[in-house]
Structure 1
């Protein structure tokens, strides 16, 4: 049995998931994803290594961290996840530049409880003031309970490649146009990008389109605008791409936010 529940507040999306046979395909998010394994074990690949989060494990995914995900040995898995934009995390933490969490999984009771308290406040539709207080508590606990480093600036070629792909999110993906701009063959570009990001340029392109669609759904609750604005062929195309990354279709995600 697979169950996914979403709720949004203070520009944070909270996810509760219960699953056994669902498998997330390799993808990434533009947000930080911070979650807690409640029951079972979360099995996934990140940074070329295999990760296994046991109950009470706190999981960290940096923006654009490529990963998959599944329940270990098809056992029932339950977990909570918070999707927090880099801009919001920087504002709350008063940091001047982005950070990257170094430990993908930690076992820290204070951080665990702060994640769960914030998720509970969002799901119970408590006031924004209460949600902000829980976010502040979570952020403060991250400063003392995790290891992170400031994000090094992208090398110029990778930064340009990502900008070119993002600028094409409403159009058909043009591999040769982008590779020509970078003075690379299309095969050199695919190899270069995958070595740097862990996913192919086309996967990055689809991921960005889905993340952009998600923001439209959260903000405007308009699934057909998301289809048009993000350049999907039709609603079925958006739903298929969305489900691979969030466990539900775009329409189901929008409906669950209400």
Structure 2
């Protein structure tokens, strides 16, 4: 049985999920993503390696870190994830430099408890003050030894290409315009971008469109307006891509958002 429940509190999003045959498409998130495997073995490809998170494994995803995801066997998996915006993470950590997780999976009971406590607080609609305190505690526990200043930063060409991709998400991706600006061939650019992001420019573009759609839905935008603004063909087209990243359709996610604001 596939079950995905999203809950928002302030700037945080929590996912509680159970899945057996569902497979996430390769994607990335703009936020930090932290999770705990509660049952089974969760597998995903990250940086060219196959990672396996067993029960009690703490999964740590850096922003823009491409990955997929699936259950290792027919028994399926249960897990929770918390998504923390990069600006909020920086504010709480008090660190100006870009921070990266040292390892994609760790087995740390204190960190696991911090994630589960915060997720439980948000899923059960406990006070925002309590959730804020639990978030500060979580980031404090993460600060050592699980994070470090980033070693690899996107170069100027990548930064410029990202700005161009994100500046016109409602239109068709035109690699020719980007490559003309960067003064390189289309194939050189695709190779350079994929080496940095782990996904192609087109996959990144679609991922950004889905993230934008998610933010619009969270702002209570009408779904059909979201389809038009984000440049999808129709709601079915949006739902298909949304589900590949978040495990649930845009329509279903809009229902979670409505329940969270009641």
Preserved CA contact (<8 Å) 1:62 1:100: yes
Matches within 5 A, 1:128-139: 128-139=128-139
CA distance, structure 1, for counterparts of residue 155 and residue 40 of structure 2: 39
Equivalent residues, number: 258
Preserved CA contact (<8 Å) 2:97 2:149: no
CA distance, structure 2, for counterparts of residue 190 and residue 164 of structure 1: 14
Residue 72 of structure 1 corresponds to which residue in structure 2? 72
CA distance, structure 2, for counterparts of residue 110 and residue 126 of structure 1: 21
Residue 109 of structure 2 corresponds to which residue in structure 1? 109
CA distance, structure 2, for counterparts of residue 151 and residue 232 of structure 1: 36
CA distance, structure 2, for counterparts of residue 232 and residue 246 of structure 1: 17
Residue 32 of structure 1 corresponds to which residue in structure 2? 32
Residue 17 of structure 2 corresponds to which residue in structure 1? 17
How much does 1:234 deviate?
1.8
How much does 1:208 deviate?
0.6
Preserved CA contact (<8 Å) 1:213 1:230: yes
Preserved CA contact (<8 Å) 1:21 1:70: yes
Residue 146 of structure 2 corresponds to which residue in structure 1? 146
Preserved CA contact (<8 Å) 1:102 1:149: no
Structure 1 residues 10 and 53, CA gap change in structure 2 (3 angstroms)? same
CA distance, structure 2, for counterparts of residue 226 and residue 111 of structure 1: 37
Residue 125 of structure 2 corresponds to which residue in structure 1? 125
RMSD of aligned alpha carbons:
1.3
Q: For 1:143-184, what per-residue CA distance to the aligned partner results, in whole angstroms no more than 9, with x for missing partners?
A: 124142236442111111111111121111112111121111
Return the TM-score normalized by structure 1: 0.96
Return the TM-score normalized by structure 2: 0.95
Structure 2: runs of 5+ lacking an equivalent: none
Matches within 5 A, 1:1-258: 1-150=1-150, 152-220=152-220, 222-257=222-257, 258=259
Preserved CA contact (<8 Å) 2:164 2:178: yes
CA distance, structure 2, for counterparts of residue 151 and residue 15 of structure 1: 29
Structure 1 residues 223 and 98, CA gap change in structure 2 (3 angstroms)? farther
Q: For 1:57-114, what per-residue CA distance to the aligned partner results, in whole angstroms no more than 9, with x for missing partners?
A: 1001111100000000232100000011001111111111321112000111111011
CA distance, structure 1, for counterparts of residue 21 and residue 145 of structure 2: 33
